[in-house]
Amino acid sequence: MNTTAHIPVLVNEVIAGLNLKPSDNVIDATLGGGGHAEAILEATALNGKLLGIDWDSKAVKRAQERLAKYKNRLILKTGNYRNVKEIIYESGFNEVSAVLLDLGLSTDQLADKSRGFSFSSEGPLDMRFSDQEGLTAAAVVNTWSEKDLAHIFRKYGEERHASRIAHLIVALRQRAPFNSALELADVVLRGAGRRGGKKRISARGGSAFGRHPATRVFQALRITINRELENLEAALPEMVDILASQGRLAIISFHSLEDRIVKQFFKREAIGCLCPPELPECRCRHQARLRLINKKVITPTEDEIRRNPAARSAKLRIAEKI
Ligand SMILES: C[S@@+](CC[C@H](N)C(=O)[O-])C[C@H]1O[C@@H](n2cnc3c(N)ncnc32)[C@H](O)[C@@H]1O
């Protein structure tokens, strides 16, 4: 059996925030292990339908098994959520009352040694969410210029030692290309001026001293190859377009780059005219499309973090279509 080890985060807050009713049609655009999907299907019983999307066909398969008992109310699709309009058209899914985006990667993907997401993985340096399309992390690490590597480590990983790490990678790959996540993690440790950390590397990326120094570089590579920020920016307006009036959009993010995009998008869509105040009349014709449901970002309780440490950096924002 294809079971999932992923524990969904902020489940009660998501279900309450989406204000679900028994016949609502909901999209879970990042299906993962199907934990949120199951809670949504329970909250919309007996007639609500769920369209679950994930870029990772293995995740869709796992969720299909987990959600088998709801199969009459379920449509599952493998695909990028930024193509949501195409996906709902093909699926004949309409009157969407709620959309959930739970960004990032799942515990199942992290634990799968063949995906290269974890520092301790000796498998290929892949890191693609999609198991079918896109550039691998190995291609980036082994072919991009030192300048471009340093740029993404700095921009998407906020890594202080970006230049040093990029320099070391480029020097070492001339002897032999990087093949595994473990090899890369070791070099990042050296580039960041930390030695002897290899033994302490855990599958979740933690070390005996807290955050593993390679966390930021791995995050940067993952964001780059999966175009995570571009997908999010492109998808947000589409998600609002497909929602019915008074439908709700809930987004869980796990790092500040994503949360900033969501926060700014919600803020902009919640106000009308965007013209500078000195203009006597509105020229932009911008109209508010959203109402913020939570003014302050929602974070997990200490109890949830104790039960599920992976939830520690989760941030939930919810808005309603006007
Ligand atoms: C944090 S997990 C979701 C966990 C899920 N909410 C649950 O309860 O099990 C994020 C999922 O989003 C998927 N994902 C990431 N980017 C995606 C994209 N652009 N389109 C579709 N799925 C994506 C990943 O493959 C991963 O399975």
Does residue 212 have a known ligand-binding role?
no
The per-residue pLDDT for 198 is 46
User: What pLDDT score does 201 carry?
Assistant: 41
pLDDT for position 222: 96
Q: Would you state the CATH architecture of domain 131-225?
A: Orthogonal Bundle (1.10)
186 lines ligand 1 (CB under 6 A): no
Residue 160 and residue 73: Cα distance in Å, rounded? 48
Ligand 1, atom 15: nearest CA belongs to which residue?
A: 104
Give CA separation, 229 vs 109, 121, 255, 267, in Å.
19, 25, 11, 18
CB distance 159 to 165 below 8 Å: yes
How many angstroms is it from 136 CA to the middle of ligand 1?
Answer: 18
Q: What confidence score (pLDDT) does residue 1 get?
A: 47
Given a cut of 70, the residues of the chain with pLDDT beneath it are 1, 194-211
At residue 121, the pLDDT reads: 84
**Minimum-distance ligand 1 atom for the alpha carbon of 235:** 19
CATH 1.10.150.170 domain extents, the chain: 131-225
| Residue 34 Cβ contacting ligand 1 at under 6 Å | yes
Alpha carbon nearest to ligand 1 atom 24, residue: 105
Give the model's pLDDT for residue 120: 81
Class of domain 11-106+229-321: alpha beta
Whole-number pLDDT of residue 4: 86
Q: What is the pLDDT of residue 207?
A: 40
Atom number, ligand 1, closest to the C-alpha of residue 31: 5
In this prediction the pTM is 0.94
Q: What is the pLDDT of residue 195?
A: 58
β-pairing, 315-321 with 290-292?
antiparallel
Q: Give residue 30 CA to ligand 1 midpoint distance, Å.
A: 4
b/e map of 84-113 (b: 16 or more CB within 10 Å)?
Answer: beebbeeeebeebbbbbbbbbbbbbbbbbb
Residues carrying CATH 3.40.50.150, the chain = 11-106+229-321
Q: Could you identify the atom of ligand 1 that is nearest to the CA of residue 106?
A: 2
Ligand 1 atom with the smallest distance to the CA of 8 is 8
pLDDT score at 208:
38
Would you state the pLDDT for residue 194?
67
* Contact status, residue 96 vs residue 177, Cβ threshold 8 Å: no
The per-residue pLDDT for 175 is 95
24-54, pLDDT tens digit by residue? 999 999 999 999 999 999 999 999 999 999 9
Ligand 1 mean position to 96 CA, how many Å?
19
